[in-house]
Amino acid sequence: MLNIFDYLNYQSFMKDYYEARKKQNSFFSYRFMGKVLGMDPGFLVKVMQGKILLPERAIAPVAKLCKLAEKEAEYFEALVHYGRAKTPDDIKIRFDKLIALRGMESRPLEPNQYDYYKKWYHGAIRALLTFWDFQDDYKALAARVHPAISVEEARESVGLLEKTGIISRNSDGKYEVLGPPITTGEKWQSTAIRNYQQESIELALQSLVKDPKGIRDISTVTVAMKFSDLEEIKARIKELRQSIMHMMTDSGEPDCVYQLNFQVFPMTAVDENGGSLPEPARLAPAPAEPVDGPAADGKA
């Protein structure tokens, strides 16, 4: 029996429902399903394939056909609206509603992993516990994080890391970091990562204002470039990230936690298909120009 709460894609649910009914009754067809829903069978197939969206008017009929209970039907409707979301803010709002509705069921894994990326300090505490001997002193843990968080936030963070299996308490009472939390992939994961990156950028701004230059390095540079070079730039940044990670692995016992942000974003209008601009907007290439202070690479 299908469980609607196992799904984050309504097209997949509809496709699985069709296949399950087809196994039960070989006479069940797209034509029959379309007739019940008042939809063209070909249109219905495209919906299940993810090529087109389910019309708003068809939400209730699909829920009725699938014999969804009231709360299940509410979740299916939220799934459809989530599938329609396009902007980052709308995606987050729709996904948060799905998580709230899933709370009625026992589905802890993905919501908890999503929550991991909702607050920047979960990652900081995870990294801190790789070398710091935490002895359930949440006041000390909260103060060790920078900027400092509340004792309750520290307690909730450790609880979340345990629930997701990111950390585990050993027989001697010490916490062990078990591995990476999650990676990007599905729409909900990309949304979670975006929220995490937004908080990281905001933290960098706070550090720029509050932290002395001796314990941070923030630099900016503006360059004129070919859009086609962007992939090469991304590749070099990826190589740098990997190089730094390898360096940290070989550098010995850690004693602090740092956040490294790499940012490349457009400052003029670009065409994703080719990077071309309208002819009046074309300018002669300009040399790289630092934008933050007198230092050659724009350090502050």
* One domain for residues 255 and 278: yes
Please give the Cα distance from 217 to 130 (Å, whole number).
24
The DSSP-derived string for 224-269 is: ---GGGHHHHHHHHHHHHHHHHHHHHHS-S-------------SS-
Task: State the pLDDT confidence band at 289, using cuts at 50, 70 and 90.
Answer: very low
Higher pLDDT, 189 or 11: 11
Higher pLDDT, 243 or 289: 243
* One domain for residues 193 and 232: no
User: How do residues 98-108 score in pLDDT, each as one tens digit?
Assistant: 877 876 443 33
* One domain for residues 77 and 142: no
The answer to whether position 91 is within a domain reads: no
Task: State the pLDDT confidence band at 295, using cuts at 50, 70 and 90.
Answer: very low
pLDDT-wise least confident of 116-130, 189-203, 256-270, 286-300? 286-300
Q: Which long-range CB contacts under 8 A does 50-53 form with residues at least 24 apart? A: 50/9, 50/11, 53/80, 53/83, 53/84
User: How do residues 176-198 score in pLDDT, each as one tens digit?
Assistant: 887 654 444 455 556 667 778 88
* One domain for residues 208 and 228: no
The answer to whether position 156 is within a domain reads: yes
Please give the Cα distance from 45 to 25 (Å, whole number).
18
Task: State the pLDDT confidence band at 26, using cuts at 50, 70 and 90.
Answer: confident
* Spatial CB neighbours of 290, under 8 Å, sequence gap ≥ 6: 220, 221, 222, 296, 297, 298
Mean pLDDT of 25-44: 92
Sign of the four-CA dihedral 206, 208, 214, 219:
positive
* One domain for residues 280 and 193: no
Among 190, 216, 242, the domain boundary falls at: 216
Residue 281 has pLDDT above 50, yes or no: no
pLDDT for 183: 44
* One domain for residues 172 and 209: yes
What is the average pLDDT score of the chain?
81
* One domain for residues 189 and 283: no
Q: How many residues does the chain have?
A: 300
36 lies in which domain range? 4-86
The answer to whether position 102 is within a domain reads: no
Mean pLDDT of 153-160: 94
* One domain for residues 192 and 121: yes
Mean pLDDT of 142-170: 91
Among 184, 216, 248, the domain boundary falls at: 216
The answer to whether position 123 is within a domain reads: yes
Intra-chain end-to-end CA distance of the chain, in Å: 59
Mean pLDDT of 17-38: 92
Which tokens belong to 127? 């990294």
Among 216, 232, 263, the domain boundary falls at: 216
Higher pLDDT, 276 or 136: 136
Write out the E strands in the chain.
167-169, 175-177, 221-222, 289-290
Residue 286 has pLDDT above 80, yes or no: no
The answer to whether position 97 is within a domain reads: no
pTM score > 0.85 for this model? no
CATH number of the structural domain spanning residue 28: 1.10.260
**Cβ atoms 158, 167 nearer than 8 A:** yes
* One domain for residues 115 and 206: yes
The DSSP-derived string for 165-189 is: TSEEE-TTS-EEE-S----S-SHHH
Please give the Cα distance from 122 to 135 (Å, whole number).
17
Task: State the pLDDT confidence band at 69, using cuts at 50, 70 and 90.
Answer: very high
pLDDT for 64: 95
The answer to whether position 274 is within a domain reads: yes
The answer to whether position 103 is within a domain reads: no
Mean pLDDT of 164-175: 83
pLDDT for 292: 43
User: How do residues 97-133 score in pLDDT, each as one tens digit?
Assistant: 887 787 644 333 355 566 777 788 998 999 899 888 8
* One domain for residues 197 and 169: yes
Based on the structure, what is the number of domains in the chain? 3
pLDDT-wise least confident of 16-30, 129-143, 182-196, 239-253? 182-196
The answer to whether position 94 is within a domain reads: no
Residue 203 has pLDDT above 80, yes or no: yes
* One domain for residues 76 and 66: yes
Residue whose entry in the numeric block shows the structure tokens 């950028």: 201
* One domain for residues 43 and 15: yes
